[in-house]
């Protein structure tokens, strides 16, 4: 190759990727791109802090041996796609996707850069991985869903409110997992003697009309499940439920802390720390295809007695005694 051809290739970007990669290796700084789902680090709250703390606990220091490139698409479909392409163009060493929409956007943007997903309820069904035990391809991560979990959540709600008979299920119909949420909830409700009705919200502006419809249908409680839009609207959902005197059962500590009556689900902050550990394995040479998808082993029950008091409810001691987190008036 003569000098003129070489310069032309550099100018055209043909060698830019390898040169950037070599520069990163020489600097000793690993570059990790993170595609969140909310509008800011503040909206992500403890999940953002958990991931950053996870890297720090493994010995990574921003600017010294790692560079974290964060992107916040604000639950806008096109921004997930454009930001995924933007992160790939940075020639990062690994990618992290918070939620299914982020993970799918990253997978569509690259088939070579390793991807670790967090909070993906159905990674096999969404074709992120071939199987939980043998992911294949360039993707692995942490799932946070099981049908039994939804049934247990409704069971605890019924135990907390024995006279409960009508529950609204709030879902985002644009989320691929919603159909499974509905099926699992209906199956569990039938066994518990509950009537379940589904109410939909695709946008933040849809939540108030959805709750108005629930009130008109005389729903006594509302159940929410893991979804990026639901997480983004967690404070709004809690206020709308309380204003209409509906008991809200949530799926995580973060959605519980926003003002729900109770929650039952995995520790999502711990999942962010585990995601950092999986990225660490990949940066040290492991292949995503060989790293099994991790599933939560521990679930936490939270009960907010302040909300119970506002709703005129008395939580039975048999339920309260099992709580991992209790908020007192």
Query: Going residue by residue through the chain (329 aa), what tens digit of pLDDT does each one get?
Result: 444 443 334 343 333 444 344 444 446 899 999 999 999 999 999 999 999 999 999 999 999 999 999 999 999 999 999 999 999 999 999 999 999 999 999 999 999 999 999 999 889 989 999 999 999 999 999 998 766 889 999 999 999 999 999 999 999 999 878 998 999 999 999 999 999 999 999 999 999 999 999 999 999 999 999 888 999 999 999 999 999 999 999 999 999 999 999 999 999 999 999 999 999 999 999 999 999 999 988 899 999 999 999 999 999 999 999 999 999 99
Question: Per residue in 76-107, pLDDT tens?
Answer: 999 999 999 999 999 999 999 999 999 999 99
Residues paired with 222 in a beta bridge: 168, 248
Residue 121 pLDDT: 86
Instruction: Using DSSP, state whether 156 is helix, strand or coil.
Output: helix
Quote the CA–CA distance of 122 and 160 in Å, as a whole number.
Answer: 29
Residues 6+ apart with CB under 8 A from 92: 31, 32, 33, 69, 113
Other Cβ atoms less than 10 A from the Cβ of 288: the count is: 23
Determine the distance from the C-alpha atom of residue 192 to the mean position of all C-alpha atoms in its chain, rounded to a whole number.
28
Buried b (16+ CB within 10 A) or exposed e, 31-58: bbbbbbbbeeeebbbebbebbbebbeee
- Contact between 97 and 117 under an 8 Å Cβ cutoff? The reply is yes
Instruction: Using DSSP, state whether 5 is helix, strand or coil.
Output: helix
- Contact between 54 and 277 under an 8 Å Cβ cutoff? The reply is yes
Question: Per residue in 209-254, pLDDT tens?
Answer: 999 999 999 999 999 998 889 999 999 999 999 999 999 999 999 9
DSSP letters spanning 180-226: HHHHHHHHHHHHHT-EEEEEE-SSGGGHHHHHHHHHHTT-SEEEE-S
Residue 312 pLDDT: 98
- Contact between 277 and 57 under an 8 Å Cβ cutoff? The reply is no
Residues paired with 143 in a beta bridge: 120
């Amino acid at each position: 190759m003569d000098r003129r051809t070489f310069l032309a290739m550099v100018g055209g970007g043909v060698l830019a990727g390898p040169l950037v990669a070599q520069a990163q290796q020489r600097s000793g700084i690993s570059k990790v791109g993170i595609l969140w789902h909310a509008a800011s680090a503040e909206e992500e709250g403890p999940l953002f802090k958990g991931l950053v703390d996870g890297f720090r606990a493994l010995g990574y220091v921003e600017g010294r041996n790692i560079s974290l490139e964060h992107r916040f698409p604000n639950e806008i479909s096109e921004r997930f796609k454009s930001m995924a392409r933007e992160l790939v163009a940075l020639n990062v060493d690994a990618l992290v996707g918070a939620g299914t929409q982020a993970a799918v956007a990253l997978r569509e943007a690259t088939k070579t850069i390793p991807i670790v997903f967090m909070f993906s309820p159905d990674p096999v069904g969404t074709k992120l991985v071939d199987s939980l035990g043998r992911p294949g391809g360039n993707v692995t991560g942490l799932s946070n869903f099981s049908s039994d979990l939804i049934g247990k959540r409704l069971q605890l709600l019924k135990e907390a409110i024995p006279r409960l008979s009508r529950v609204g299920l709030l879902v985002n119909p644009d989320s691929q997992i919603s159909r499974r949420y509905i099926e699992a909830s209906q199956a569990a409700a039938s066994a518990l003697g509950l009537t379940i009705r589904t109410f939909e919200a695709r946008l933040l502006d849809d939540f108030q009309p959805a709750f108005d419809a629930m009130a008109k249908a005389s729903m006594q409680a509302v159940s929410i499940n893991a979804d990026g839009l639901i997480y983004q609207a967690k404070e709004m959902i809690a206020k709308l439920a309380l204003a209409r005197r509906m008991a809200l059962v949530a799926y995580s500590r973060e959605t519980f802390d926003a003002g729900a009556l109770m929650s039952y689900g995995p520790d999502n902050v711990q999942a962010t720390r585990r995601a950092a550990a999986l990225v660490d394995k990949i940066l040290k040479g492991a292949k995503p295809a060989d790293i099994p998808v991790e599933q939560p082993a521990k679930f936490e029950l939270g009960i907010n007695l302040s909300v119970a008091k506002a709703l005129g409810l008395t939580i039975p001691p048999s339920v309260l005694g099992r709580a991992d987190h209790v908020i007192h008036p």
